[in-house]
Chains A and B, each alone.
Chain A
């Protein structure tokens, strides 16, 4: 964790997190997919700055390498080949990684207090020191981003270089991008720049160009400029309308206080019942009781004690009259 005084949301915390540093501008990273050449310099810069060295993988016959995000690959280029209706082949390359949602599903799902925080500048950061390895962040994330490391069972993802940003620098991927496909600044500035670029793309004939800043998660602090914003799914499955799943909402929302309350009320009802109605006291042997139990036959109470869990050889010859099996 890079700054403990401008936290606007903290996982598994029901009180206000420390946020006295309130005059913080929201930041954003803008990824202009139309400018990306797929060089993967951002992947290299990410591992270099963050001191990550993923295992060397295998070639799967595509440019995707590694083929997926891992605990040590916080960003990957995803390549997809799309054939449009007029027969044109489009090579769509998207830099995948944490979107830094304004309403982060990972943070909502996380059960460990403070393991996930959201800074006032919008960055969603994992304080992996508090991570317990349950993977609820993966369950909560609408973009399938966090990964649990098989080495330490902690969850990792892009920090938006929160350490660099806190010191006034741009994220490592932004710094290294040779085509200026990735830019960084205040969210306001990035939106303005994105709008201008969308205008340019439209002028170039991409009628469906647009900004990807999905409202379903309150907007994101990593945004895309897409030439086909009408169909983000075409960019290696970028969700069209991402939002925290209603199942996660129910799991981490209303059910928690309601079910907690009912458990408490049930226990309390027991206390009240005991105090008002009292216990069922141990019954004394009375003729009346005897009558209730033995009116249709039975043995008088003076008979010998009976151990129903033991069987003597030869006893209970009439098997049909005996209770069955172990269960008596």
Chain B
């Protein structure tokens, strides 16, 4: 695909398809899970066709999420390790929140906030998988002692809470930083966007591009 000259590709079609599939699955999981979490949210069980269907489908959807998420996460580990300027960026979190971006150091493809989202989900989804299997009736719960199921139930609720708060932050960040939603729907960002928000990544991409253009 020939991109206009002022754009950089940020997410491949596969990444985008994976992301939005996960997004839909996550929303269904969160809504059906909240239904079992607190009576105030019980009506949400109808998003999966009623409370019994929600109980049946929720764990299977969870497995789908796990497969999609870790297939994606495994490919992005390196980009989510602590990188150049990340500590400095975190120290200036006040500037980040106040939109004083010009004071921030250039950072890589993901900023520390995005990396925190990544690791928070890597951990919470793993805990959700383990605790979820232990609670899963009628298939698996019968193989585990009841005290363990109790612990798993609490762990599942806490991990889900962490994951949901993380996703709330993730969604808000996407609304907050203009241009980022388009990067996940259409795949590209403007060069100006890349330089402004992810200076090191922009430089890296442009260098790679320059090398490719040299005969």
Contacts and interface: CB of A to CB of B under 8 A. Distances in A.
A210 to B, nearest CB: 27
Interface stretch (B7-15, B20-28, B61-69): B7-15
Contact of A255 (B99, B157, B194, B207): B157
Given A283-B193, A303-B5, A260 B138 contact: no
Interface stretch (A32-40, A93-101, A172-180, A313-321): A313-321
A297 to B, nearest CB: 7
B208 A323 contact: yes
B158 A294 contact: no
Contacts of B205: 306, 308, 328
Given A132-B52, A294-B206, A303 B213 contact: yes
Given A282-B190, A294-B203, A303-B213, A273 B106 contact: no
A262 B101 contact: no
Interface residues of A, number: 77
B195 A321 contact: no
Contact of A321 (B35, B147, B158, B211): B211
Given A113-B42, A135-B141, A136-B153, A270 B146 contact: no
5 contacts: A113-B39, A138-B146, A144-B146, A267-B168, A304-B213
A256 B75 contact: no
A273 B97 contact: yes
Contact of A148 (B76, B98, B138, B150): B138
A87 interface: no
Interface stretch (A75-83, A181-189, A244-252): A244-252
A277 interface: yes
Contacts of A148: 137-138
Nearest to A280: B177
B60 interface: no
Given A113-B39, A282-B178, A293-B202, A263 B165 contact: yes
B196 A289 contact: yes
Interface of A: 12-14, 109, 111-113, 132-136, 138-139, 144, 148, 150, 153, 245, 247-248, 250-251, 255-257, 259-260, 262-263, 266-267, 270, 273-274, 277-286, 288-290, 292-294, 296-299, 301-310, 312, 315-316, 318, 321-328
A84 B210 CA distance: 88
Given A256-B37, A282-B179, A326-B75, A303 B206 contact: yes
Top 6 A-B residue pairs of the complex, sorted by shortest distance between their CB atoms? A305-B3, A293-B195, A270-B172, A306-B209, A283-B196, A309-B12
Contacts of B38: 256-257, 260
Contact of A139 (B55, B150, B213): B150
Nearest to A142: B146
Given A14-B39, A135-B137, A301-B6, A316 B175 contact: no
A322 B168 CA distance: 34
B79 interface: yes
Contacts of B39: 12-14, 111, 113
B109 to A, nearest CB: 8
Nearest to B209: A306
Nearest to A134: B55
A297 B199 CA distance: 12
Given A112-B51, A327-B75, A316 B199 contact: no
A302 B5 CA distance: 7
Given A148-B137, A292-B196, 4 more contacts: A247-B150, A280-B177, A299-B210, A327-B78
